[in-house]
Amino acid sequence: MNALIRVTGAWTRVLTDWLDRMRLQAPQLRAAVSAYALDDVVPLTDWAALLHEAVALKPGLPAPGLDIGAAVAPHHVGVLGYLVMASDNLGQALAAYQRYERLFYGADLAELKVTPSQVEISWAPGGGSALTDEVAIAALVSFMRKQVSDPPNPARVDFVHAATKAHKAVFERFFGCPVRFGRARTAVAIPMDFLAIPMPRREPALHALLDKQAQALLDALPEPNAFDKAVQQLLVRLLPEGEVNVDKVAAALHQSTRTLQRRLADSGMTWQQLLDRTREQLAKQYLRDAALSLAEIALLLGYSEQSAFTRSFKRWTGETPLSFRTQSVHH
């Protein structure tokens, strides 16, 4: 999995949770992690440096990457984590991970290989480290294990880096399956029949809602040199939380309001134009989904009342949300 290009600020919190569990103070390391907002992009090199600094605090651990990864919780992976939890079964959860992996790593990295007996998810090597790979795979397996009452073990786990015989034994005890090192790709193989295992927290309605939000986040991922798209991505996350204003967005981007407005002007738009455009695009996407009520759509767009959403949509398009939805269904 060395090809990771970045992680999120939320993901780095798995490290502070591990520090808590180890009862390590590490004030400088905690400050370095806290410097990242939850939606910040954290370069892979920075993440690796934080991990190595943490590992140095507990030199006696045989496989610290596994311990850190095992601390994973839904809030570490954002909407993707909650989407997995609301899935019908492990198969749907795995499909959600592959579909929205780019929200987490900034790129579509995983490849699926399906045989009659198993599904293998794998990642090509690139520019990471053994420790980043170990944390990521331990987290993936641990997260899935935490979702079911009698969690199955993978059929096989592969890593690109080498390991001693003693190291291999520790990994096989953790994963409960054969672990191979020095392979061409990092991989996790899962028996096919495990994919039908039901998720205890499955909620189809919630899953549908989260899927729409995840897709909107995916659609708004920034393009190279596209600052307005970066702001759009932030808006997709902030809108369901309620009132959104230029000061709040500027703070989330770690810049002054004046700087944000100037950079938007350089892109040929004002703050209000970007907010309206983002809401209009999201509204049209959500309205095409008959499973979402108008009230739910209003909330996803940051409106406290459906009537306010209706007035705004009519101003943008010249028609009501209900009229747009009816026409979309017939087309």
User: 71-80 pLDDT, tens per residue?
Assistant: 999 889 888 8
Model pLDDT, residue 181: 96
Going by the DSSP 8-state scheme, the letter that residue 193 receives in this structure is G
In a domain, 228, yes or no: yes
In a domain, 203, yes or no: no
In the predicted model, is pLDDT for residue 34 greater than 80? Answer: yes
Which residues, including other chains, have CB under 8 Å from residue 318's CB and lie 6 or more apart?
none
Looking at the chain, the whole-number percentage of residues with pLDDT higher than 90 is 40
- Taking residues 147-175, report their average pLDDT: 93
Q: What is the CATH number of the domain that holds 18?
A: 3.90.1520
In a domain, 22, yes or no: yes
Model pLDDT, residue 69: 96
The average confidence (pLDDT) of the chain is: 86
246-277, pLDDT tens digit by residue? 998 888 888 889 988 888 776 667 888 888 88
Model pLDDT, residue 331: 52
pLDDT band (50, 70, 90) for residue 225: very low
In a domain, 215, yes or no: no
In a domain, 204, yes or no: no
The verdict on 54 and 175 lying in the same domain is: yes
Segments forming the whole domain that contains residue 43: 6-196
In the predicted model, is pLDDT for residue 205 greater than 60? Answer: yes
**Residue with the larger pLDDT of the pair 232 and 59:** 59
The verdict on 254 and 192 lying in the same domain is: no
pLDDT band (50, 70, 90) for residue 291: confident
The verdict on 250 and 174 lying in the same domain is: no
The verdict on 105 and 224 lying in the same domain is: no
Q: What is the CATH number of the domain that holds 294?
A: 1.10.10.60
* Total number of domains constituting the chain: 2
Render the burial of 78-112: b for 16+ CB within 10 Å, e for the rest: bbbbbbbbbbebbbbbbebbebbbbbbbbeebbee
The verdict on 245 and 112 lying in the same domain is: no
Which residues, including other chains, have CB under 8 Å from residue 151's CB and lie 6 or more apart?
144, 145
The verdict on 148 and 233 lying in the same domain is: no
In a domain, 209, yes or no: no
The verdict on 143 and 72 lying in the same domain is: yes
Render the burial of 2-38: b for 16+ CB within 10 Å, e for the rest: bbbebbbbbbbbbbbebbeebeeebeebbebbeebee
In a domain, 130, yes or no: yes
Model pLDDT, residue 5: 58
- Taking residues 276-280, report their average pLDDT: 85
- Of 141, 179, 139, nearest in space to 160 by CA: 179
Model pLDDT, residue 16: 94
Give the domain-ending residue among 147, 180, 196.
196
In a domain, 227, yes or no: yes
